[in-house]
Amino acid sequence: MKKMKFNCDYMEGVHPKILKRLVETNLEQTAGYGNDPYCASAKKKILEACECPDGEVHFLVGGTQTNATVIAALLHSYDGVIAAETGHVNVHEAGAIEYTGHKVLTLPQKDGKINAESVGSYLKWFYADENHEHMVQPGMVYLTHPTEYGTLYTARELEEIHKVCQEYQIPLFVDGARLGYGLAAEDTDVTLPVLARSCDVFYIGGTKVGAFCGEAVVIPKKGLIPKFFTTIKQHGALLAKGRLIGIQFDTLFTDQLYLDISRHAIAMAEKLKKALVEKGYTLYLDSPTNQQFVLMENEKKNELLKKVDFDFFENYDDTHTVMRFVTSWATREEDIDRLIEIL
């Protein structure tokens, strides 16, 4: 029997409804670089869902390209970006931010999150330093939602961080590579309109939530980033056949498909989490999203890896490892049931 895989949420291709529309429109001729009716329709639907009809939407190809492009566009040459020490831009982007000439200024995290107090304290003491003009300037704040640990910010936490950013006149950027799974989580109070009100730029992840590829950058205040289209092109993140991303997001934002498939991933993750606890495994933390983290003895980890693929997250000590199980929009319930039998 084929080995099951729970390594990440981008192992499958694309949602069947998107594939069907791509095939149906395959031989149509449209203008390039996002100047097509599908991109226009997708942008309108996204802005309506975010309740910011006067904002901007831009389509980019992937998460790292999006982070590097947005951050470079928002910062001056002498600026850096404040982020959690576990933030994706600091840990898993091969120095992409530094490659654009900007330093990542890290803050301590708790369960992947930073808070308004730590951001405010950093900024306060930075400007209290009489030599601060000789230093990398904190030019923006970067958050992930959900975080790398699968945890979520509350609406109040986002608003408080945004308030600090406004006080110091720097933008807040939210990385939403797995945003669908955050929006679909139980008991969350963060919605697309909340995000649009509580940050300056965010993006809606497609690559990890049902699309072949693509991320939708939302700028609630039109004109915040001058010549952003040109900046995207400069960073190699613009598709000539832009409709490929437009069709995908137009489909994802039709009849709430984006939320529906995200809810499925959450349901599968919750079923798995319940079984892990019942079987005596130790959860590293309580994640409400599609990533579940387990503190596992190395012998047990190695035994399970012979039967099912799941992901290393971090070393805990000499005999234990934190491992990650990830569900997705495409996870089959029968595979969750098989996994539970193996555990």
Q: What is the pLDDT of the chain when averaged over all its residues?
A: 97
CA torsion sign for 105, 110, 113, 118 is: negative
- Cα angle, residue 25 at apex, residues 184 and 33 outer, rounded to 5°: 80
Can you give the pLDDT at residue 2? 85
Q: Which of 227, 252, 277 is the last residue of a domain?
A: 252
Task: For residue range 8-59, list pLDDT tens digits in order.
Answer: 999 999 999 999 999 999 999 999 999 999 999 999 999 999 999 999 999 9
Task: For residue range 149-199, list pLDDT tens digits in order.
Answer: 999 999 999 999 999 999 999 999 999 999 999 999 999 999 999 999 999
Residue with tokens 């369960």: 111
Can you give the pLDDT at residue 198? 98
Instruction: Find the length of the chain.
Output: 343
| Whether residue 298 is found in the same domain as residue 203 | no
Name residue 170's amino acid: I
| Whether residue 73 is found in the same domain as residue 164 | yes
Q: How many domains does the chain have?
A: 2
| Whether residue 225 is found in the same domain as residue 332 | no
Domain boundaries, position 156: 16-252
pLDDT at 1 over 80: no
CA torsion sign for 223, 236, 79, 125 is: positive
| Whether residue 263 is found in the same domain as residue 247 | no
Which residues neighbour 60 within 8 Å (Cβ) at sequence distance 6 or greater? 66, 69, 203, 214, 215, 217, 232, 237, 238, 245
| Whether residue 37 is found in the same domain as residue 84 | yes
| Whether residue 319 is found in the same domain as residue 280 | yes
Asked whether the beta carbons of 220 and 197 are under 8 A apart, the reply is: yes
Asked whether the beta carbons of 174 and 197 are under 8 A apart, the reply is: no
| Whether residue 307 is found in the same domain as residue 184 | no
Task: For residue range 85-117, list pLDDT tens digits in order.
Answer: 999 999 999 999 999 999 999 999 999 999 999
